[in-house]
Amino acid sequence: MLNLQGCMILYRHGINGWHGKIEVRNQHVGRSSPPLALKTTERSDIVMVYKATNVADYVVKLANDLGDEITHLRLQKILYYIQGTFLALKGEPAFSEEILAWKLGPAVHSVFSVYTKYDKDPIPSPKATIIISDTDQLFIKEIYNRYHDYTTTQLVSKTHNEAPWKNSSESGVISNESIRSFFTDSIYNDNDFFSEKPVVTELPTELYDPAEDEEWSNY
């Protein structure tokens, strides 16, 4: 039985976007998984939107289960791509909190508050109970695998070259609408959306300005 603690239950009637329940048709969740394949089924009047820390806990557990090291900075970028893919393909966000345009890319403050203690070190698997539904776990695994081969530096650079971060004010909110619009166009109109990787060996030194976004200066 799914523990719904920490979830927001949204009763939607006429909300813009997809109104059907989304299921993952492709059950393959290995390292080299094929493209996402979704189908709509019967209409659902209940939509779960998790807290960002709920999704973060699952991503950290997933990474550890797969033998991957995941740092706080990397986690923040993965959460952004999860949010964007949920908005584009499901019509609803994965989590309710706002994403901010910090110097090293999109970030969620509540997740920062929980995981900043690990600094640059890999985050261990959480002890908290994972409350993400089985269907959403499969979907998030697919998204995670899409970005597995990116280095953290490449993920930061990638977000810096995408419209949601580029068009947001410094340290301001990146709107869900801007994320949804970008990911919808990218996923449906660009066959290489999941495969293109920027060639980056290191971040420009100006990104480390300690006077701005002081929380990230250690990175």
* Rounded Cα gap, residues 59 and 113, in angstroms: 16
The per-residue pLDDT of the chain, averaged, comes to 77
Adjacent-strand bridge partners of 191: none
Q: What is the pLDDT of residues 172-205, one digit of tens each?
A: 999 999 999 999 998 876 655 555 544 444 544 4
Task: Please count the other Cβ atoms lying within 10 Å of the Cβ belonging to residue 11.
Answer: 8
Are 44 and 24 in contact, with CB atoms under 8 Å apart?
Answer: no
> Whole-prediction pTM value?
0.72
Q: What is the pLDDT of residues 124-180, one digit of tens each?
A: 999 989 999 999 999 999 999 999 999 999 999 999 999 999 999 989 999 999 999
* Rounded Cα gap, residues 149 and 105, in angstroms: 18
Kindly indicate the confidence band of residue 24, based on its pLDDT and cuts at 50, 70 and 90: very low
Asked whether the predicted pLDDT for residue 2 surpasses 80, the reply is no
* Rounded Cα gap, residues 125 and 31, in angstroms: 19
DSSP 8-state secondary structure symbol assigned to residue 203:
-
Bigger pLDDT: 53 vs 39: 53
Q: State residue 149 phi and psi, 5-degree precision.
A: -85, -5
Concatenating the DSSP letter of every residue in 85-104 gives HHHHHTSS-SBSSPEEEETT
pLDDT of residue 215: 55
Q: What is the pLDDT of residues 71-95, one digit of tens each?
A: 999 999 999 999 999 999 999 999 9
